[in-house]
Amino acid sequence: EILEAAIKARDYLVASYEDENRKSAVHWACANGHMEMVKWLVNKGHGLSKLKTPDRDGVQPADYARHNGHDTLAEWCIDRIAVEALRDACRQGNLEVMASNFTVNRAVQLSWNGW
């Protein structure tokens, strides 16, 4: 029981990490192409909000992934953010946001494919 609590506390601290430039563990994992680590961090609670949070330079984790050639990871991050926005819009019954989300996602998908 104590060990389990210690492991949960450690996981929370790792998932919540931010350096002096406001780069989170998610930023670093994306920059280095560590898909499984990004998924783990997202599943630990703060990760999904960290996917949307820019660092001090205004750069989001997906931007680091894309810049460093980790396109699959960048797409995964963008999809997760879009799914969360769509889920929130559905809960609130916001049809404009739901329609916009589908349009934006299609535009992003086309740009990733070189259109």
pLDDT greater than 60 at residue 53:
yes
Identify the structural domains of the chain with CATH numbers, from first to last: 2-112 (1.25.40.20)
DSSP string, 12-36: HHHHH-B-TT--BHHHHHHHTT-HH
pLDDT at 98: 62
Closest CA to 26 of 58, 55, 54, 51: 51
CB neighbours of residue 22 within 10 Å: 14
73-104 in b/e burial notation, b at 16+ Cβ within 10 A?
bbbbbbebbeeebbeebeeeeeeebeeebeee
Q: Which of 1-5, 22-26, 95-99 has the highest mean pLDDT?
A: 22-26
pLDDT greater than 60 at residue 6:
yes
59-72 pLDDT, tens digit per residue, is: 999 999 999 999 99
Higher pLDDT, 3 or 74: 74
pLDDT at 114: 45
pLDDT at 92: 77
Distance CA 115, CA 106 (A): 11
